[in-house]
């Protein structure tokens, strides 16, 4: 219950004022910053019958080697084909690497795009930008993540955020550039809710969903800098005519924090142990399970970062020498973790009847060099790589595009990042001719003129 005590002021039934609430930093943590108070309501720019669609974007930070996973070249010289062999799948048109045996059992559910490419610098950050927003950031314009654009257009379905990142946003990957995982020019109001916790830990909980009276000193310490910013903003904002709008969004944020539905959606203890173990008791596996729960609870878009950084941990970034990963690390740690989590997610969504309305897009920022380097690894290669899609209207068991004999360049149907993002929007039923409010309030096209989705997938 909320008790309105006067213009520009609101107090909850437990005596927490709007100012107290903001001091805890909850609005910022929930992606409900002050710009939200003057935001437009959801626009009617979605195709009929698509409003129930959601997306789980798995971003394989570090970039898997196409030649060692989904686009193997067994007849190429050893320095090209690498150490792994292809295996048959339940689809005669698709072979995958022996390091992905669980993928082989569900190749009828996903489709591969083997001809992705981009022409920007071969650094992680540029690929992150393009593959999540459809554009390379130039001229100081930071375009919004696809999930942020979706939230602007469609809004949220219930008290849960429309757009969530698990387990947290991308960290350093060497380029010191934005990664494309925020709302960019749409403003902080449309930033995603970031979990900022590892759901595989035994003590996993989401602090931002605890009532304010349960947030201790450690939580307050964590949000100290945000409190200081909010204090200044509150003093200025309360004098404006938008205060009533602030009250409405404060109430919405507080409902989220105290929502039983929200807490239950994040509560993995509600899942049988057998289900949790099927996904794998790893950070990635439990993030995939949590993504399914969140979509089931009404979240429109969930991004799962397979890794947070490429430094000093085993990742897809298989340069072969420290602080990066060797091919053996991919074989023994990364691939089994990914194979288990991804296959469990696809199977679970299918068995629950959710796959038709849930696109799972497994993306990466680029591929790896066709030739194995002297350290026994593969380096950055944006000229050709593979991504895959399942669900959300995608027809499984297809292979779109083709690479050349050594997996170096597209030989058929080249696909650029803007087409990848347009394909996500197509699944969601968004109007590709729609515009967003860009810098200086100028209309900014959702996708570049002439960009089309990969229609062969649908």
pLDDT digits (tens, 9 = 90+) for 14-36: 444 444 444 444 444 333 333 43
How large a percentage of the chain has pLDDT more than 90?
Answer: 74
DSSP 8-state class, residue 134:
S
CA distance 325 to 313: 7
Does residue 194 lie within any of the structural domains?
yes
Distance (Å, rounded) from C-alpha 50 to C-alpha 426?
9
Q: Closest Cα partner for 306 from 360, 342, 278, 343?
A: 342
Are residues 317 and 380 both part of a single domain? yes
Kindly report the CATH number assigned to the domain that includes residue 271. Answer: 3.40.720.10
What would the two tokens of residue 348 be?
A: 């679970």
User: Does residue 35 lie within any of the structural domains?
Assistant: no
**Do 442 and 310 sit in the same domain of this protein?**
yes
Residues 356 and 336 in one domain: yes
Place of tokens 């404060």: 250
Q: What angle do CA 59, 109, 411 make, to 5 degrees?
A: 70
The mean-pLDDT minimum among 239-243, 271-275, 283-287, 445-449 falls in 239-243
Question: Do residues 234 and 293 share a domain?
Answer: no
Domain boundary among 257, 275, 294: 257
Could you tell me if 326 and 274 lie in one domain?
yes
Place of tokens 């072979």: 95
Same-domain status, 250 and 385? no
Is residue 36 in a domain?
no
The reply to whether 282 and 415 lie within a common domain is yes
What domain count does the chain have? 2
Domain identity same for 188 and 285: yes
Q: Which of 3-12, 199-208, 359-368 has the lowest mean pLDDT?
A: 3-12
- pLDDT (0 to 100) of residue 36: 38
Six-digit token string for 308 = 């947070």
Is residue 9 one of the residues assigned to a domain? yes
Q: Which domain covers residue 239, as residue numbers?
A: 1-30+212-257
Q: pLDDT at position 205, please?
A: 84
């Amino acid at each position: 219950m909320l008790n309105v005590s006067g213009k520009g002021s609101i107090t909850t039934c437990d005596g927490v004022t709007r100012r107290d609430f903001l001091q805890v930093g909850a609005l910022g943590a929930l992606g409900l910053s002050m710009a939200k108070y003057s935001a437009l309501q959801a626009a009617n720019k979605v195709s009929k019958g698509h409003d129930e669609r959601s997306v789980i974007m798995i971003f394989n930070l570090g970039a898997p080697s196409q030649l060692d996973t989904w686009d193997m070249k067994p007849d190429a010289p050893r320095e090209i084909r690498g150490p792994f062999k292809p295996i048959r799948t339940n689809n005669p048109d698709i072979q995958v690497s022996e390091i992905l045996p669980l993928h082989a059992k569900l190749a009828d559910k996903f489709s591969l795009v083997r001809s992705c490419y981009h022409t920007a610098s071969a650094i992680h950050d540029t690929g992150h930008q393009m593959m999540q927003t459809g554009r390379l950031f130039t001229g100081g314009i930071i375009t919004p993540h696809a999930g942020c654009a979706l939230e602007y257009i469609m809004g949220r379905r219930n008290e849960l955020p429309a757009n969530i990142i698990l387990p947290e946003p991308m960290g350093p990957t060497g380029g010191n550039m934005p990664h494309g995982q925020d709302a960019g020019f749409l403003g902080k109001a449309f930033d995603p809710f970031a979990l900022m916790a590892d759901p595989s830990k035994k003590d996993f909980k989401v602090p931002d969903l605890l009532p304010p009276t349960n947030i201790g000193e450690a939580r307050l310490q964590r949000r100290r800098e945000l409190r200081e910013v909010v204090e200044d903003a509150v003093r200025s904002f309360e004098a404006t005519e938008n205060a009533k709008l602030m009250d409405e969004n404060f109430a919405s944020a507080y409902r989220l924090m105290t929502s039983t539905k929200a807490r239950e959606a994040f509560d993995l203890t509600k899942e049988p142990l057998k289900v949790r173990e099927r996904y794998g008791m790893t950070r990635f596996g439990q993030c995939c399970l949590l993504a399914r729960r969140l979509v089931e609870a009404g979240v429109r878009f969930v991004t799962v970062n397979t890794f947070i950084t490429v430094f000093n941990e085993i990742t897809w970034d298989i340069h072969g020498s420290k602080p990066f990963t060797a091919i053996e690390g991919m074989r023994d740690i990364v691939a089994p973790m990914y194979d288990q989590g991804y296959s469990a997610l696809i199977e679970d969504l299918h068995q629950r009847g959710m796959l038709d309305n849930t696109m799972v897009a497994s993306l990466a920022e680029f591929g790896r060099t066709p030739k194995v380097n002297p350290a026994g690894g593969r380096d950055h290669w944006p000229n050709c790589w593979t991504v895959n899609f399942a669900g959300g209207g995608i027809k499984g068991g297809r292979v779109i595009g083709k690479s050349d004999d050594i997996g170096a360049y597209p030989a058929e149907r080249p696909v650029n990042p803007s087409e990848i993002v347009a394909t996500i929007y197509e699944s969601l039923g968004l109007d590709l001719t729609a515009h967003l409010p860009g810098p200086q309030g100028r209309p900014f096209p959702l996708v570049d003129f002439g960009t089309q989705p990969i229609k062969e997938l649908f």
